[in-house]
Amino acid sequence: MAAKKPEKTTKRTTTSGTRKKPAASGRGSSSKTKGADGGSGKTLIIVESPTKARTLSRVLGSAYQVKASVGHVKDLPPSRLGIDLDHDFAMEFEVNPDKKKILSEIRSQARLAREIYLASDPDREGEAIAYHIASELESLSLPLKRVLFHELTEGGIRTALEEPGEIDFRKVEAQKARRALDRIVGYTISPLLWDRVRRGLSAGRVQSVAVRLVCDREEEIRRFVREEYWTIDAMFEPTGPPPRVPPSFMARLDRIKGEKPVLSDESSAREAVDRIRNESFVVGSVAQTDKKRNPYPPLTTSRLQQDAANRLRFSAKKTMMLAQRLYEGVDLPGVGPVGLITYMRTDSVRVSPEAAETARAWIRSRHPDQLPSRSPSYRNKKGIQDAHEAIRPTDVTRSPESLKGSIDPDLFKVYDLIWKTFVESQMAPAHYLQTTVLLEGDRGDQFRATGRILKDPGFLVLRGVQEMAEPDADGGGGQDRILPPLVEGESVRATGAEPAQHFTEPPPRYTEASLIKELEDKGIGRPSTYATILSTIQEREYVEKKEARFSPTDLGKSVNRLLVDSFPDLMSVKFTARMEEELDQVEEGGRGYRDVVGDFYGPFHLELEKAKKGGMTNLKKLEEPTDVPCPSCGSMMVKKWGRNGSYLACSSYPSCRTSRNYVEEGGKIRIVEEETPDGEVCPVCSAPMTIKKGRFGTFLACSRYPECKTTKPWPPKAEVAVAVPEGELPLCPECSSPMALKRGRFGTFLACSRYPECKGTRPLPTGLTCPVSGCGGELVPRRGKRGTFYGCSRYPECTYLLNGEPVRDPCPVCGFAYRVRPGKKSEDLVCPNEACSDAVPRS
């Protein structure tokens, strides 16, 4: 089978989308094939993650060598654009500095291998990773085969290896196009925002549109005018002979003289109630209809994120992290790592016939009454990518109950959601008998009552019939309500009528689930990017969560306004959706990389130049007049913009330096008075301290600022209890005074007890000795650009580094003194000893 020969490169690869003649490769190489160095070696499989590598190693055994690239090995240079805008948008890729060691190990193992499979994830990003790894292995004489693991089970793995393919260069082109578009937007607009707003801001082709959706919704809420309305519910009972079950029922006023009731105030509602109390009613009609509620289709990536947010209160980022672990493999007692679900990035609701039949067999053995005559079919949305099945369990017989207590609770919740949704999708619908009764009054009033009885629970038996409160597919919903047996023309008596006041509600702010649904409905981004989009707009402080709903910050509103004014096309929802369609066309072969990027860059460049030449407002220099007097000198204050957002400043600056925070209520500005906590005085000049707000939260500042610039943390941060006895704390390295435990932005640390006279600090000791022979140092936490890591206290003499948190738990395989937790919430512990079979590579 043929595979395209990657472009020749050593450290850097420049690609412009031109295709080279593919190099020949054989399909199904013999086990007697010699390695690239002339010797006979193992089959090398290169995947993305160490967890996936462990799962494959367990299934395939010692004849295979599985190596993880740990994500992308190449990327655009971090310090410059890396795209030649004048020559077909050629992209300059270079090896990531932290992947040089991994690549070196891959090359070494590849030279000894008898055959090589590139097995990164089956999507655009995975295809690009495979392509870049291939570009680093092009000097080998062995052909490189591409395999796609849609599920990490023994059957799925063996099947994939028996049917290797080629790198899909259309997917590579589509990934390059997306990367180029995002890079051009980010690297050209972000510096503009630094200049006009504040440093550190960023703009994104998709994230900025997501922020716009949040800002537009906030503006809708601000403009919304609430309107009062009233409803009337009345209790009725039949006048015929008992027994009736139930003896009475509730109905709502539905018509007044044939028209919808318009009750805009209490007086009109009371007038209607008085009329109803003296009115005679008969049953006008009784209609009974069979209603069907179909199960939902199997989960797509978008639906998984939405359902996990609604049912489990998980963020999209957390959901995708857990789903990734379920796909790559979870350690099961007595079994080892097993892939529990199929690939979790998919737009399709398609299910393979084999998987459907397995589910039907499970249903037949446990709920035979709820097995439909044939497997239900679900239609995909127009234009979706159908490369992968829907998300489903790899083995239906592995029920959630069988895994309870064996896996992490959060993993269990996501697996339970996926398993039940899939099995339900293959079951029969639920059937209801719905009864609608219209009650006619002799003064022109009409009431409506609706009852519902479950006739056949169908798929609902899997979750329990008590969970029927979810809405019907036709919009109705709620628990069953039983009406008494009624016949047309029968008299009924109103035993009470109560008016209820209501107000129209503005559109709700977005939750994670509703924002994901809005992005999907409008075609913005792709399901695999939603988690990143939602995380990024929060990390950039453009939006914040209040009671689990997104609100734009002042910064988000200001940046959104600037971008909408200066880049109307880029910020257009329809334009962004069209760009996603064009990226799909690149993957389908309908358009080329250069065409898509070129068509975008031309108009965008004109808007960018216009913005640079003064088309974008400079918030740093903007002063907006207000009618708020300065509390110090009486001059009018102006709105200004600082790195922490907008604030009020005296227009008489610099003679008056008064500034205040403010809030806008009903279009009017109100100064937020500074709080002065009792007993808090400046340790330098003894003036009262006031509470201020900065980019990292609240703090105390001297009220004599700027004459005195003393600050203190607020609220006071209590020293945290750690597993280090007070008497064993080391002495200050600067003055030999006792040290004390303190908590800062990055966690707990040791600081001199004589602070601020002495500012000596050191990391918190762990009590774990450095494993390097003869070193004598100990492991201490350090802070890097990617978070906390652990290193030797004798750095730079000793450069031992460890990713993850060390745990005092000896390795059961080699006896190493401690093991490592790779992630903050990870339950897995791996041995840092590279010679151990349970090892994880250290950086």
User: Which tokens in the block code for residue 780?
Assistant: 């201490």
* Residue 772: C-alpha distances to residues 426, 781, 796, 829 (Å): 57, 17, 13, 21
* Residue 640: C-alpha distances to residues 630, 645, 650, 709, 829 (Å): 14, 8, 10, 21, 51
CA-CA-CA-CA torsion sign (786, 791, 793, 794): negative
- β partners of residue 435: 288, 451
Q: 59 near 339, Cβ under 8 Å?
A: no
218 sits in which H/E element: helix 207-223
For 377, residues 6+ apart whose C-beta sits below 8 A from its C-beta are: none
For 521, residues 6+ apart whose C-beta sits below 8 A from its C-beta are: none
Report CA 581 to chain centroid distance, whole Å.
Answer: 22
User: Which tokens in the block code for residue 138?
Assistant: 């092009």
Helices (H), 507-658: 512-522, 527-539, 554-566, 573-588, 593-610
178 sits in which H/E element: helix 169-196
CA-CA-CA-CA torsion sign (16, 22, 28, 33): negative
- Side chain identity, residue 377: S
Report CA 199 to chain centroid distance, whole Å.
Answer: 25
| DSSP letters for 623-689 | -EEEEEEPTTT-PEEEEEEETTEEEEEETTTTT---EEEEEEETTEEEEEPPP--TT-B-TTT-PBE
- Name the phi and psi angles at 659, rounded to 5: -140, 150
- β partners of residue 29: none
| DSSP letters for 69-133 | --S-SEE--TTS--EETTTTTEEEEEE-GGGHHHHHHHHHHHHH-SEEEE---SSHHHHHHHHHH
Helices (H), 250-352: 266-277, 301-307, 316-328
* Residue 183: C-alpha distances to residues 72, 536, 766 (Å): 16, 15, 41
DSSP summary character for residue 33: P
Annotated catalytic, 705?
no
Characterize the bridge pairing of strands 64-68 and 43-47.
parallel
727 closest CA partner among 709, 718, 739: 739
* Residue 755: C-alpha distances to residues 739, 744, 751, 759, 782 (Å): 10, 14, 7, 5, 21
For 787, residues 6+ apart whose C-beta sits below 8 A from its C-beta are: none
- Name the phi and psi angles at 114, rounded to 5: -90, -25
Helices (H), 399-508: 400-403, 409-425
Q: Is 573 helix (H, G, I), strand (E, B) or coil?
A: helix
Q: Which residue out of 343, 432, 510, 542 is catalytically annotated?
A: 343
Rounded Cα distance between 90 and 84, Å, is 5
Q: 336 near 61, Cβ under 8 Å?
A: no
Residues classed as catalytic = 343
